[in-house]
Amino acid sequence: MDVELCLKEMGRRIMERRKGMGLTQEALAEKSDLTTQFVSYAESGKRGMRPENLMKMAEALGVSTDYLLTGDIIDKDKLLLSDKLDRLKAALTTLTDLQRDTIYKKFYRNMSNVDIAAEEGVSETAIRNRLKKIFANLAKKI
């Protein structure tokens, strides 16, 4: 595979994951103990990474180095996701019925609004941003 293409694809995965986590480049740099400029170069595919920096980036993003390098989801990625789901389930069990009902109602109401927006031709980016806000607000309540 072409090295330049590989770096661009890896950069795209880093940026997508960072944005999916609601992090700025500065926040990711701090979380991974790298510089903001390094994160920017990595996302643009302008710079390769030393193994230790790749490991820092993967750790901060909560994914495997395999995922960043190849896009392949391996057992480690599934384990990370499973752990996050277990924590979410545990948090949900601590809520009262009223709190849980309120969260579900808000979620479904907002999901209906997202469906309507999609039907009305709202961009996919705008819908993704709306979903991020919905989940961020729900996370605050948990």
Give domain status of residue 113, yes or no. Answer: yes
Q: Looking at the 3D structure of the chain, how many domains does it have?
A: 2
Selected residue with higher pLDDT from 51 and 140: 51
What pLDDT is stored for residue 15 in this prediction? Answer: 94
pLDDT tens-digit series, residues 34-88: 999 999 999 999 878 899 999 999 999 988 888 898 887 777 767 777 777 777 7
Two structure tokens written together for 121: 């031709």
Same domain, 121 and 58: no
8 A C-beta contact, residue 119 and residue 112? no
Task: Say whether pLDDT at 136 is over 80.
Answer: no
What pLDDT is stored for residue 135 in this prediction? Answer: 66
Same domain, 117 and 70: no
pTM: 0.58
Same domain, 56 and 110: no
What pLDDT is stored for residue 5 in this prediction? Answer: 84
Give domain status of residue 85, yes or no. Answer: no
What pLDDT is stored for residue 35 in this prediction? Answer: 94
What pLDDT is stored for residue 40 in this prediction? Answer: 95
Give domain status of residue 84, yes or no. Answer: no
Query: Residue 49's domain is classified under what CATH number?
Result: 1.10.260.40
Selected residue with higher pLDDT from 135 and 30: 30
Same domain, 113 and 61: no
Give domain status of residue 70, yes or no. Answer: yes
Cα 124–71–17 angle (5° rounding)? Answer: 50
Same domain, 7 and 70: yes
Count, in order, helices (H) and strands (E) of the chain. Answer: 8, 0
What pLDDT is stored for residue 64 in this prediction? Answer: 87
Give domain status of residue 39, yes or no. Answer: yes
Which contacts qualify for 115-123: CB closer than 8 Å, 24 or more apart? none
| Number of neighbours of residue 141 by Cβ within 10 angstroms | 12
pLDDT tens-digit series, residues 10-32: 999 999 999 988 899 999 999 99
Strands (E), the chain: none
Task: Say whether pLDDT at 142 is over 60.
Answer: no
Two structure tokens written together for 92: 């949900």
What pLDDT is stored for residue 14 in this prediction? Answer: 95
Q: How far apart, in whole angstroms, are the C-alpha atoms of residue 107 and residue 77?
A: 26
The domain of 101 spans 95-141
pLDDT tens-digit series, residues 92-120: 777 777 877 777 676 666 666 656 666 66
Give domain status of residue 135, yes or no. Answer: yes
Give domain status of residue 80, yes or no. Answer: no
